[in-house]
Every structure is written in structure tokens, then in C-alpha cells.
């Protein structure tokens, strides 16, 4: 990147995105705030600094970086980020999870929402889709990158490891995958439900180049994403193990699976909003 990131500006966007998240899920008493809050820095960094793209949006995404969300239940952070980045008007965030809305609980394509290239939420599939697009870019001599985000509990899906083997074997080195490593999943702590063991060693043994970072520290996260991009073209797919805290930014939601898919009530919303500065204006 030629210009250094404006961290203060990015932090302001993060604060507003977090306000959007808790307001969206509260309004319909439905949604997934925990993982959305934890991944806010990742989405804000990606769409406001790291990726090169056209917000006017076309499905092909030729000659631009593209992103795929595999763990589609964290749609609130995805929708807010897209709206704040200019893909559609922020007022549409008020339609989240409502009938006939383009902002379904899990991202879908039939509604034609700008920024959404695949339907997601059936865990384990996003990495495969991203690999396919990365290979298409190679065939088209398109030198941009493909980014994909997965959950850590999602690594319990067998399709992920089939895709991981395929990507390494086929040298899909324009792919930058990230795992949201918050240690929580819907039924409890990851280590209690089904431990992943040494995930770094596993991906390295599958032939991936693996980086690690704190996903809630913007400077470190951006430096890691830039380092990942610098490794493109070296013959290996790239994985970022991104440690985050579920519920980050709202003290009573932090660090527990209990806010995986629960909406705050009126009192809890007021508490959450009191902790998050309104920086860009609520929708």
C-alpha cells in the first residue's frame, strides 16, 4: 500500500459498524452479534484499506479483489461494512431479517444485494467457492487476490480440509484465507466441543503458508494482511489465523458463546450503545 492507514478513521468506522450490529439484531430480536462484533476490525480493514474494488459492483469482479464470507451467520458485520463502504444506502440496514428484505439472516444472492457473490451460512463451503474464483482469476490472467473468512468451529467440517488439500496441490497462491479464531462456537468453548489441536501445524502440513495475528488490533491486522498479500504468487495458498474476542466492544458480550446468536433486549441495547461512540451517524 502506498499510503499508510489512517487508524483513527478506521477506528471510527469500527465503532459505527458495532453500533449498527447491535441495533440491527435488537430491532428484529434475531441475529448473531457475538462473531460480528469480534470480526469488525477485519471487515473494516479489508473494505476500507486492503482490498481494491469497485463499489458499483459486478458479480465477475474482474481485475479487482473479491471477498467471500463462509461463516454467513455473521451477516450483520458484513452488511454494515458494505453499506458504510458505499455498496448500498445505510438506510437499508433497517430492513435486516425482515420479510422481502435483501438483507437476509444469512447472505443470499437472489435478492441481488451489491457485494454478495455467494449464498453462505451452510458452514464448510466458502473456502471451496473462493478457490474456484481464485483459479478463474489465474485463467483470466487477473492478478488480484481472493479473500475468504471462515470460523474456527467451521474447521470441524470435512469439506474445509478437502479444499485445503486441493488448494495446496494446485498452488492456488492468489488466495488469502482467514480463520476467525475466537475459541467459541454455538454450543460452547471450542476446546470443549471439539478441539482443533494445533491448527497452524495442520495447515502448514497441508502445504499452506500460515500467518498469525490479533484481529482486534487494527495496526497488527493490517500489517498481517499486507504481509499475506506480499506472499501471493509464491506457490502456496495463504492462511491467517486471526485471534479475536467474541462480542468485542460490548463488555457483557465479550468472550462467551452465549452471545453467538442472541439479540440484546432494550436495556442491554442501551448499555451496548453507551459503550460505542456514534461516529458516522446511525442509520
Interatomic CA distance for residues 106 and 120, integer angstroms: 6
Domain ranges of the chain: 7-274
Interatomic CA distance for residues 167 and 59, integer angstroms: 22
pLDDT value at position 3? 86
Q: Domain spanning 7-274: which superfamily?
A: Thiamin diphosphate (ThDP)-binding fold, Pyr/PP domains (3.40.50.970)
Mean pLDDT to the nearest integer, 79-86? 98
C-beta atoms surrounding 107 within 10 Å = 25
User: Is residue 32 predicted with pLDDT exceeding 50?
Assistant: yes
Beta bridge partners of 197: none
User: Is residue 144 predicted with pLDDT exceeding 60?
Assistant: yes
Interatomic CA distance for residues 16 and 14, integer angstroms: 5
H-run or E-run covering 178? strand 175-181
Interatomic CA distance for residues 196 and 207, integer angstroms: 17
Listed residue (186, 176, 246) closest to 211, CA to CA: 176
| Grid coordinates belonging to 145 | 487476490
**Whether 32 contacts 74, CB under 8 Å:** yes
Determine the longest span between alpha carbons in the chain, in angstroms.
53
Predicted confidence (pLDDT) per residue in 121-136, tens digit:
899 999 999 999 999 9
Please provide the average confidence, as pLDDT, over all residues in the chain.
97
Can you give the pTM of this predicted structure? 0.97
**DSSP symbols for 257-279:** GGGSS----HHHHHHHHHTS---
User: Is residue 89 predicted with pLDDT exceeding 90?
Assistant: yes
C-beta atoms surrounding 188 within 10 Å = 14
| Grid coordinates belonging to 194 | 471439539
| Grid coordinates belonging to 264 | 440484546
Predicted confidence (pLDDT) per residue in 217-261, tens digit:
999 999 999 999 999 999 999 999 999 999 999 999 999 999 999
| Grid coordinates belonging to 16 | 459505527
H-run or E-run covering 167? helix 158-169
Residue 252 DSSP class: G
At 1, the pLDDT band (50, 70, 90 cuts) reads very low
Instruction: For residue 123, give Cα distances in angstroms to 23, 28, 139, 153, 175.
Output: 25, 23, 27, 9, 19
Amino acid at each position: 500500500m502506498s499510503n499508510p492507514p489512517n487508524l483513527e478513521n478506521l477506528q471510527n468506522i469500527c465503532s459505527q459498524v458495532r453500533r449498527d450490529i447491535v441495533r440491527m439484531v435488537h430491532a428484529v430480536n434475531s441475529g448473531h452479534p457475538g462473531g460480528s462484533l469480534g470480526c469488525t476490525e477485519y471487515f473494516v480493514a479489508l473494505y476500507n484499506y486492503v482490498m481494491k474494488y469497485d463499489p458499483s459492483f459486478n458479480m465477475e469482479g474482474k481485475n479487482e479483489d473479491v471477498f467471500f464470507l463462509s461463516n454467513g451467520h455473521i451477516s450483520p458485520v458484513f452488511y454494515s461494512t458494505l453499506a458504510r463502504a458505499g455498496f448500498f444506502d445505510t438506510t437499508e440496514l433497517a430492513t435486516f431479517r425482515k420479510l422481502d428484505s435483501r438483507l437476509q439472516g444469512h447472505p443470499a444472492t437472489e435478492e441481488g444485494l451489491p457485494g454478495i457473490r455467494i449464498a453462505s451460512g451452510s458452514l464448510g463451503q466458502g473456502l471451496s467457492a473462493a478457490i474456484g474464483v481464485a483459479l478463474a482469476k489465474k485463467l483470466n490472467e487477473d492478478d488480484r487476490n481472493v479473500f475468504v473468512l471462515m470460523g474456527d468451529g467451521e474447521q470441524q467440517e470435512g469439506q474445509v480440509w478437502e479444499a485445503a488439500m486441493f488448494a495446496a496441490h494446485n498452488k492456488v497462491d492468489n488466495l488469502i484465507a482467514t480463520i476467525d479464531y475466537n475459541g467459541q462456537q454455538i454450543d460452547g468453548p471450542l476446546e470443549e466441543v471439539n478441539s482443533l489441536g494445533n491448527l497452524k501445524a495442520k495447515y502448514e502440513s497441508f502445504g499452506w503458508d500460515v500467518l498469525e495475528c490479533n484481529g482486534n488490533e487494527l495496526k497488527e491486522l493490517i500489517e498481517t494482511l499486507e504481509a499475506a498479500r506480499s506472499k501471493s504468487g509464491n506457490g502456496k495458498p495463504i492462511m491467517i489465523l486471526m485471534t479475536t474476542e467474541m462480542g468485542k466492544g460490548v463488555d457483557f458480550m465479550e468472550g462467551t458463546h452465549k452471545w453467538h446468536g442472541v439479540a440484546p433486549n432494550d436495556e442491554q441495547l442501551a448499555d451496548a450503545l453507551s459503550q460505542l461512540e456514534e461516529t458516522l451517524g446511525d442509520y
